[in-house]
Structure 1
């Protein structure tokens, strides 16, 4: 139980500092109360972390759902109606888990998953550049290309360069230097530097800098450039921040549509993140995906019941956990308790943390996800891996997470079809003496309608008078479409004086008539491969 606490506690602190601004920023980008983002982060850490089978995944409010939440709150008429949709979405996720829908996550190519990780790394860096310089017009967690402040990812960067805050920039540079020094040098010198994480030191330095420069017209950090946690006056006002679903609207069709949308998108994003975090896990553990859906569904039910945003497993926090040395799910659970305790006891202290310091922390997270070495590695694997990888990255940067993954998956499917077209058969001209061609066509193990064009092209190009040997000994599946092409070719072969020899596990059969008879008497050949 306590074996990996020395790894999990330092990692949970880093995840806490990464999660805090994202919980608040995603709530702001979603048009929801700020406290709802914190509720989702707390439930995602403590409840989902405890129920999940993932040892290194971290759950919380997801940027990918921000646009859905923003539209849903307006469409459904109130935040309380939206919370009902979150609860129902959690119930639907439980149903997905019971029906074992978690297997969907395994159908995404490795190149697309790696592209997702790299794309998120790049987008984290791009989105944090304005915050690094103290320009915070766009909330944390708005990872879409078109932002809620009517800018896009790149125009926001250029705009931020016109409004550089000296104080925010200085402490961001100092924090980045501390993080790099801690990661590259100090952590290798003594155990104390592994227990005390660089991000914690950077945050403490940031708070001290803010306190010392407060009120300074040049180097002071404006309130807009600080973390903004709701500060309750007393215990009653703290509990007054919770909201509850309006169960009276349960018959509203729009609420059920929203609930299904939340369940579908949250489940898909979770499964993709599970696949990605499993690839990042140094111990190569495999997360049970159906159990993850059950955990996420439970988390969403509870989050909706007490006023929280929808929850998914999120790659930014999960990768920060892995990079910081987290070993077990205790890291995610402890980070949830840190969120809970801090918003209850020290919200004022949290509101002294410069966002530019947290931007520096996220820079390191983003760089480790999008290292240049990974681009070189994927390029070296060939175009079939590199093209879906790059398309996924570009799609994520210029659209959003799910659209980018969809584009990468689409390109991956096209490449599979191309290779299937090319690899359906092997054609070899064995002899062309005396003006007579002897051609051997060997069909692949599985030949489907995808291969119709390639095979038809080769058959039509055979010269008149050719001796064709059709070898199906390796073939275990022949689509009916291919059988129809071959049957039609038998009739054409008569007119073109082409002799066909069929080579199968049952021997060799010559002339078109016996060929047709063979397949007609053996209809299960196509389905069961009984050549």
Structure 2
């Protein structure tokens, strides 16, 4: 039974909401850290994504919050604009998403090739990996953009703090082991990220109790505000700088967030529809509106932009969620947590969050993904790898634009190649040459066909076959007619046209129905030679 009642499966939804909360808490902090934003901003985004978007969304499995796919955009935007002006871009992005929902742009993700999307995500993964290396080592180096990052990484490795490195290594070990050991995977209520956080706190606690020189100092620990009054609580929310709405850069950032966040959300919704045990349909236009409202509220309250997130959604499904009450419960638990135990959260070493982000970056830029596109051939691999590298060295928007351009180039190139089949063996004088046209031959194929016809050897015999063709552009028909009537005669080439429809207004040299022509196709070369002689 496909029930939409939020309270129909309260027992299972509360349990799964707890699991998602445990997964989301370290991710909210880690993604805020990677974005160069206040850590509290990540919590705000998670709370709004759970309570507000969770309530408005029609998806019963997906969970929204700050996403790794937006970190590169957010980091650069905050650096260029300042945080208060950046919040205006978040609000505008939310408004744009609502508009996309009203114009029914829920299918926008279908127009982006998978190799470009995967290349973008892999590039973001590489950026996350690079940005977290200094924190994982205990270095204060800030990684610059472009090719200067190599020098910054070299400097970071000269400033290693042993205590922080030990915590990073221990946290990574926990995360890797937790995902690899089958027995541990069964402990659904204890996510690996939470165990890594506990491990980091425990190790630093041991350093403190033993008065070790390896102690992680406060500047390398999570620093969430700890309000002691309602007035102080109100003061921890960043306020958008509304004057920034007149800054054109803010609009560019808003548009970029809109496109990337919408695509990531729609792809996640497509994936979670498959995870839903009840196979409920999700209206993607309504989802864009829900995400837009969530981003507006998040921006107003000083939070990060959000998307539907695959990691949390899959955890939600695996934990047995039945309705969107699970996402709402996760948001409520985040709110209760940040109000009640901020002091405990401030014991978390930043190195542990860096380790969690290193794992996220590795999953996004997994070598198996590179191998997958390599095996799919150059038309898939080259746009993928160009997008990946361009995102890392030229920025996300430029990277995606370059990847789209390369994909279009390869689509056109592939279309040209598939427009006709030309047997390219070495021909001797008198041999029959076959040029078989495909189902569709557009004006884009004119240059390639012209080049092929011009390179035909003198005194050869040529069959141009349009039997399988549904559409031929007039430019190509004119080219074939001109070649037969003028160029072929000058070079002593005999041209036979087969299968051209009456609408093409080209006279066939062999009139036949499909059955007769099929018989002629299998004639030997000698028989074809007789045909030309006749």
Measured against the shorter chain, the TM-score band is 0.7 to 0.9
CA contact (8 A) 1:210 1:220 kept: yes
**Is the CA contact 1:121–1:369 (under 8 Å) kept in the aligned structure 2?**
yes
**Residue of structure 2 in register with 1:444 after alignment:** 438
Cα offset for 1:442?
A: 1.7
- 2:175 is aligned with 1:132: no
- Is the 8 Å Cα contact of residues 429 and 440 (structure 1) preserved in structure 2? no
1:45 equivalent among 24, 34, 50: 50
Partners of 2:500 and 2:366 in 1: CA distance: 52
Cross-structure match for 1:526:
none
Aligned to 1:521: none
The answer to whether 1:58 aligns with 2:40 is no
Q: 1:208 to 1:485 in 2, by over 3 A?
A: same
User: Which residue of 2 is the match for residue 114 of structure 1?
Assistant: 118
Distance verdict in 2 for CA 1:507–1:167, change over 3 Å: same
More divergent stretch after superposition (356-365 vs 327-336): 327-336
Query: Is the CA contact (8 Å cut-off) linking 1:56 and 1:321 kept in structure 2?
Result: yes
Q: CA shift at 1:57, angstroms?
A: 5.2
1:411 match: secondary structure: helix
Deviation of 1:212 after TM superposition, in Å, equals 4.0
Instruction: Give the Å deviation of 1:83.
Output: 4.7
Contact 2:434 2:464 in 1 (8 A): yes
Look up the match of 1:471. Answer: 465
Aligned to 1:394: 389
Q: CA deviation at 1:226?
A: 0.7
Equivalent pairs counted in the alignment come to 488
Query: Is the Cα contact below 8 Å between 1:16 and 1:339 reproduced in 2?
Result: yes
**TM-score, normalization by structure 1:** 0.78
Q: Following the alignment from structure 2 to structure 1, what is the Cα–Cα distance between the partners of residues 498 and 165?
A: 75
Q: Secondary structure at the match of 2:66?
A: strand
Q: What does residue 172 of structure 2 align with?
A: 176
User: Matched residues in 2 for 1:338 and 1:152: separation?
Assistant: 42
Moved more, 450-459 or 107-116: 107-116
Q: 1:459 and 2:450 equivalent?
A: no
Which residue is equivalent to 2:516?
none
The alignment status of 1:145 with 2:145, answered yes or no, reads yes
What's the Cα RMSD here? 3.9
After alignment, is 375-384 or 220-229 more displaced?
Answer: 375-384
Residue 67 of structure 2 is aligned to residue 67 of structure 1: no
Say whether residues 1:319 and 2:319 are aligned partners.
Answer: no
Deviation per CA, 1:194-239, whole angstroms, max 9, x where unpaired?
3222322232232233344349461211111111112223111111
- The CA distance in 1 between the partners of 2:470 and 2:23, in whole Å, is 53
TM-score scaled by length of structure 2: 0.78
Displacement of 1:330: 5.6
Aligned equivalents of 2:377 and 2:424: distance in 1?
30
Unpaired runs of 5+ in structure 2? 1-8, 510-534
Q: 1:360 aligns with which of 333, 336, 355?
A: 355
Equivalent in the alignment of 1:273: 264
Q: Deviation digits for residues 22-54 of structure 1, max 9, x if unmatched?
A: 2255253xxxx6654543343233323443455
Deviations along 1:223-282, one digit per CA (max 9) or x if unpaired, are: 1111111222311111133355577x5xx8725x45643442122212432465468669
- Identify the match of residue 32 of structure 2 among 2, 20, 23: 23
Distance 1:368 1:92, change over 3 A: closer
Residue 430 of structure 1 contacts residue 440 of structure 1 at CA under 8 Å; is this kept in 2?
no
Specify the SS of the correspondent of 1:232: coil
